[in-house]
Amino acid sequence: MTDVEFFAARDGVKLAYRQMGEGAPLILVHGLFSNAEMNWVKFGTAGQLVDAGYRVIMPDLRAHGASEAPQSAEFYGPDVLAEDLEDLIQHLGLNDFDLGGFSLGSRTSVRAVVRGMRPRRLILGGMGLGGLAGWTKRSAFFQRVIAEFDTAKRGDATWLSIQFMKTMKVDRTAASLLLQSFADTDPAALSAITMPTLVVCGDQDQDNGSAQELADVLAQGVLATIPGTHMSSVTMPELGAEMVRYLEQTTA
């Protein structure tokens, strides 16, 4: 397991991150209810990128992993996750970096770019156009997951997500507040994404809409399809392989 480091966000919340490797910095942001260790380290994605010569920087989002999970709404304003990402970059003194994410991590990366962040290249995993323009629908589903935490039965639509939350020991109060901070991203705002962008998605993953549609609306979007559903594709070695291939084939 990689060592955990900490920094303070602009509102004083203590946030965690992990680093592996040396070389060009690549920030990877995990998905909802997950953390850096689960999303990027456990299944070897970070290791593949380290072997390709990258310094992989992996934050735990607030209310996730080793980061603090405050239980007051004042700590969950609009775009708070994008602000946290900005604060991490400032903390590390980064000016030249690549940025990627999976699911919520992709959404957070997009929100940061819309706000003015300019990574060299962008990687959006497990994300489609509908997952950005219609995120409030996804958020409503996960609020239902939290509401049915103690009552859902095997086979219910929320069952698998609840089991994952239990495995990850998610703070439900903090998670619910965080979900309320999300807003939809107008497709017109995606014009801010002018850098080369890889959209990588499982061949059975429609959880966040069409990945092809997302790639098509981006100025330099390229789609790569890997095996798996939304839950399983992030565990596949093909995820890291496609990231490495894309980074090796593109220039910033």
Per-residue pLDDT of 93-106, as tens digits, reads 999 999 999 999 99
How do residues 118-136 score in pLDDT, each as one tens digit? 999 999 999 999 999 988 8
pTM given for the model:
0.96
Question: Which CATH number is 221's domain given?
Answer: 3.40.50.1820
Contact 126, 233 (CB under 8 A): yes
75-95 residue pLDDT tens: 999 999 999 999 999 999 999
Question: String of b and e for 198-232 (b: at least 16 CB within 10 Å)?
Answer: bbbbbeebebbbbbebbbebbeebebbbbebebbe
* Crossing angle of helices 80-92 and 104-114, rounded to 10°: 80
Q: Residue 39: what pLDDT? A: 97
Q: Which domain holds residue 15?
A: 4-249
